[in-house]
Amino acid sequence: MKKQTRNLIIAGGALVLAVVAYFSLSAYNAQQEEEQAVKDAESIIFVMDQATVDVTAFSYTVAGETLSFTRDGDSWVYDADPTLDIDEDVITNMLSTMHPLMATQKLAPDEAVDYGFNQPTTVIKCTTAAGTASLTVGMMNSITGDYYLHTGSLDEIYMVSYDFPDAFSQTVDALTVTTSATPTAAE
């Protein structure tokens, strides 16, 4: 009987220690996750945070041609040919890449490095009630696949993911709503 009581007390003590260890480890892991989240948030590099609904006009270059668009109510108008039916979803997707536009890295300018800004991949201008912002995309970094970008001042050069300049590579044809002819009963 004494031996059973002693074994029961030892087992109960071990259970209490296991529960305390479990909660201690859980609290420690939660603290580590919180610290990592703070570090991750501090390491985010914002280049621009332009909400799609705030943009009143924008332009960009593709294949050496500048395409410019102006908001008319809830619709977008292609400035060179206002009669075109522009696909609003494609425009919204393009502009959403700037909300927010985050850099993968911020670089100190180096005169020895060719960033490709003398022959930019694209130049994007975005107008809101606050003014116009200009984003110049240089060449792609062959190692990372990211693109060099500056916002008007060569004092701050960023690297942005390839999907940002790719979003602004749409031609007018890709931005136009195409309607397929539906056959009539006579056909």
The pLDDT value given to residue 32: 61
pTM (whole model) above 0.85: no
Give dist(CA 97, CA 161) in Å, integer: 10
Structural domain including 68 reads 46-175
- Count of structural domains within the chain: 2
The pLDDT value given to residue 2: 76
- Interval 111-127: pLDDT, tens: 778 899 988 889 999 99
Average pLDDT, the chain: 82
Q: Are residues 131 and 164 in the same domain?
A: yes
In this structure, how many other beta carbons lie within 10 angstroms of the beta carbon of residue 121?
20
Question: Is residue 130 pLDDT above 70, yes or no?
Answer: yes
Q: Are residues 111 and 163 in the same domain?
A: yes
Which positions ≥6 away from 177 have C-beta within 8 Å? 85, 86, 87
- Interval 45-55: pLDDT, tens: 888 776 667 89
Q: How does residue 15 score in pLDDT terms, banded at 50, 70 and 90? A: confident
The pLDDT value given to residue 146: 93
Q: Are residues 27 and 53 in the same domain?
A: no
Q: Are residues 55 and 146 in the same domain?
A: yes
Q: How does residue 180 score in pLDDT terms, banded at 50, 70 and 90? A: low
Q: Are residues 86 and 34 in the same domain?
A: no
Question: Is residue 80 pLDDT above 70, yes or no?
Answer: yes
Residue 186 lies in a domain: no
C-beta separation of 117 from 134 below 8 A: no
Share of the chain above pLDDT 90, in %: 30
Q: Who wins on pLDDT, 33 or 98?
A: 98
Q: What is each CA distance from 94 to 37, 53, 81, 107, 164, in whole angstroms?
A: 29, 12, 20, 25, 8
Residue 123's CATH number: 2.60.40
Q: Are residues 21 and 59 in the same domain?
A: no
> How confident is the model over 18-23, as a mean pLDDT?
74
Measured between its terminal Cα atoms, the distance across the chain in Å is 98
The pLDDT value given to residue 148: 94
Question: Is residue 135 pLDDT above 60, yes or no?
Answer: yes
> How confident is the model over 130-138, as a mean pLDDT?
89
Give dist(CA 17, CA 113) in Å, integer: 60
> How confident is the model over 117-144, as a mean pLDDT?
90
